[in-house]
Structure 1
Amino acid sequence: MSQRKKSVSASQNKTQRRSQASLNEDEEASFSQVSSSQVQRARENFTSDQIDRKVAEVVQFILIKDQKKMPIRRADIVKHVIKDYKLLYTDIINRVCRTFEQVFGLKLVETDPKNHIYILINKLDPIQGEPVSMRSVNPKKGLLFVILSVIFMKGGVIKENLVWNSLKKLRVDPGEKHDEFGDVKKVVTDEFVRQKYLEYVKIPHTEPVEYEFRWGLRSEKEVSKLKMLEFVGELFEQDPQSWTQQFREASTVDSSSQRTSS
């Protein structure tokens, strides 16, 4: 690419970023400037049946977006679903949250308060008597659970070659096409990362370039570290408390999570 083309491309990217930032600021301003009297008038302009339908539409929209486990933007909800009901956004989204929790056992979590991005997480407890060994989950979730376990047991951050070596021991080679997962490396570094289950981060000042894995935001919200430690204990036929540091962290995180959700 010529220097001139690079310069034009960089300029276009900067313009797009400024434009997006301006849109975000405009959107934020339009929400922050809504008065209680405007909200009250809006409530009087719509019937309860109309609001019920709008809540159902938002629920359906979020469920469709979440099928690919992609983040859900407030701007998209407003633009594609809320539309003329924008003044009632808070009322509607609160009812949507209650619907997800009471009907689906899911929780709508705002992961980015600045840009107002949401994800759905599963808040259902495992069925009583269900083994911790993850035998009932789909293959990809099983693969993810193994990777999360390795990261957790190794202190929360590990180099990618340790992940690949751990998978090879389970006869899952990232360099070969797998019957269940297809391109294993793509599933782990692309799909799981896009879904916010994993973070795949370049390690500074490495030559050749190296990467490391961490738990993603969705995993931190959705996965019980205590249950994971029970799973590891089951695999190695050891008491989970024998891993002192991990047990302390898992117990602290899970009790803190319970207090937040109650």
Structure 2
Amino acid sequence: MAAPAWSQSEDEGFSSQNEQETSSREDSEDSESSLHDALYLKMTELVEFLLLKYHAKQPTTKAEMLSRVIKEHQDHFPEIFSLASEFMQLIFGIDVKEVDPSNLTYVLVTTLGLTYDGMVSNGQSMPNTGLLVMLLRLILAEGDCAPEENVWEALNVMGVHDGKEHWIYGEPRELLTKVWVQEEYLEYQQVPNSDPARYQFLWGSRAHAETTKSKVLETFLRDYRRDPNFVSYLSEEAMSDEEEGA
């Protein structure tokens, strides 16, 4: 049966209204997506800028970052700067620290007070301290001794695979079992009485000399607050060990 004229008119009105709302929503989503992409691009540009500053051992200021990188997106500086700082710390192990609040000056230093950044003398490689910090955390979480299989399982999640060259970290096995062992940040040893032989990682003497478990725990608490049970366990273990070593 044909719908009455008033019903057809009403349906057409609803349809037109729905189309307008859908179009408006899509335009809004496109605008948000475009802004998100632009801010992400600015974040990556700021990371590149900060890496150059780190290589050159130069400080930077908010004014310089705004004029040279952020430019037309200055209203979004806080979120861009925050994301770039987190990226620098987690991926490269570099902290962006404010040293002069009066003119908002920042320096770039290796995290946890470590004196190693993994860069070669000509400055062409990337800082790899971020991966080292992750390993120190993992060893701490495993009760000061991390089985090698657990380490590689964790690294695989990060896209770091045994025997596969990584764009930042190079060949991971050589880095973990040779370079960082020679630098005395890690110990790589056979698990006692294991047959067939299994291996494990421990903190090296240089790691103990340059940082502490409580400092590593602080960075853990800052970055991984989503698992209260694990954080509570790790906190108790680290603090207990620190008191025993005091």
What TM-score do you get using the length of structure 1 for normalisation?
0.43
Between structure 1 and structure 2, the one with the greater Rg is: 2
TM-score, normalised on structure 2? 0.45
